[in-house]
Amino acid sequence: MSSLRQKIILGYTAFAILLIGLSALYVLESRVIEKQVQAGASISEFFDVALEIRRFEKNYFLYHQDGDLEENRAFVARAKHLIDDNRQVFEQLSTEPKLTQLRRSLDSYDQGMSSYAQANSTGEARAIRELGLAIVNDAQALAAAERSALQRNLERQRALTLTTLVGLLGLLALAAAVVSGGIVRPLKEMERRMELVAAGSKDRLSMTAKDREIEALTRAFNHVLDEISLRQQQQLIQADRLASLGRLISGVAHEVNNPLSNISSSAQILLEDGEASAPEWRREMLGQIDSETVRAQRIVRSLLDYAREREFRRQPVALKAAIEETLPFLRNELPAQVAVRIDIPADLTLPADKPRLQQVFLNLLKNAAEALDSGGEILISARLREAGEAACARGQEQGASAPETVEIDVRDTGQGIPPEILGHIFEPFYTTKEASHGSGLGLFIVREIVEEHGGCISAESACGQYTVFHIRLPRPAGEFQEQA
């Protein structure tokens, strides 16, 4: 599989090579233009010298001053040196015969001026003027050729710059397409999916990526999404527990009020009788106060254990006693015409997290009570079986090696569950109740807790007759034996 890192390195390498090549090309072009400018300076100077030669020539012919003649001859010598010193430059703008003729014309002009200075002949002056004009025309032709060559070089430089710019824009467009297809589009898709997740979506990201980094980012995104879903699920479960706790408090308040009333009555009697009462009778009253205090503490502790989010911890649990402690929580949930029977041996124990196990029975009993709105019976029974006699439909890792299984049934004589609904009752947020009467998490929480204990749960029902939930929990050998 390809890698974005490799593509980026390859892209930077290609860009560096292109940049070096373009830089070298522009350096060469700059050298050519620099030489052209230097040549242009020589040609311009030669043209200026030719004009000075003519200027001092006219001055000498008019005023016959020796200074003008010396300046004229000095500029002629300068013109000769320019041709001799820059022969190669001049040949690029003219031909060898023309340069040779120009050089001879300068020699002839120099000799003609010397002859004129001695003889002062009018005919020689005319020939010198014609020869000087020819020299100026040749210098002007060289300057024009130099300007044309410089213009051509500048146009070539402009064309090269334009071509380079177009090529770079094309490469940038290609790189933008590659980056957009390989990086930007997947990242935008992830951004869009993150917005959907923030809005409540739980859909996983499915992306066919050709690059390892995008694939790894996709896996990381889905992992984070799974973690968020798991944490939200845990928060919802805890919120459902707290909501259930709020509904149960009104029923438990009566249970707490009974021992508090007994404590208050005993204390009032002791205050009224004071020292006049017999010591044995005072000790009896104090004992009642103490026992009722312990009873209230036990009820409050049960509530705290139920509501507290704490680490899963197994301990020996007397099953019948745990269920009996749970029933007071349902005082306001159970109609008066609903009877609850418990058919469990008092000495049947199993390793479990007691608050979580009580939450299982609390949710199952609440559902059963709602199914018995016109009256009926709820039967909670349990028995000890060999593991092979009551195996779970799907094996649980924690209970696979346990030789004994505690089988618990919670049966009600209610209206039953239709077959099309029965297969979905353990799914999260699945409910047939109104939104104000349930979140659809109760049975899902029950299954999670049972499986947390290494057990399993199933349900069967007949419409208009009954519903029974079968719970199977493993019991390790030698640790929790039935007590005689």
pLDDT at 388: 61
Read off the tokens for 152: 């051509």
pLDDT at 238: 64
On the question of a common fold for 229-309 and 313-484, the answer reads: no
Per the CB < 8 A criterion, the answer to whether 66 and 113 are in contact is no
The one-letter code for the residue type at 105 is: S
The dotted CATH code for 313-484 is 3.30.565.10
pLDDT in tens, the chain (484 residues): 566 677 677 777 877 887 888 788 878 877 777 777 777 888 899 999 999 999 999 999 998 898 999 999 999 999 999 999 888 888 888 888 888 999 999 999 999 998 888 887 777 888 899 999 999 999 999 889 888 888 888 888 888 888 888 888 888 888 777 766 667 777 777 777 777 777 767 677 776 666 777 777 777 877 877 777 767 666 666 666 666 556 556 555 656 666 787 788 778 777 777 666 777 877 777 887 887 787 677 667 666 655 555 567 888 999 999 998 888 777 667 777 888 999 999 999 999 988 888 888 988 988 888 888 778 899 999 998 876 655 565 444 444 456 788 999 999 988 888 888 888 888 876 666 654 455 566 788 888 889 988 899 999 998 888 899 999 999 876 544 443 3
DSSP per position, 425-454? TTSTT--SS-GGG--S-HHHHHHHHHHHTT
Tell me the three state secondary structure of residue 130.
helix
pLDDT at 394: 47
Indicate the fold that domain 229-309 takes in CATH: Helix Hairpins (1.10.287)
DSSP state of 90: H
Q: How far apart are CA 368 and CA 341, in angstroms?
A: 13
Q: Where are the domains of the chain?
A: 4-183, 229-309, 313-484
User: What is the pTM assigned to this prediction?
Assistant: 0.45
pLDDT at 59: 93
CA-based max dimension of the chain:
173
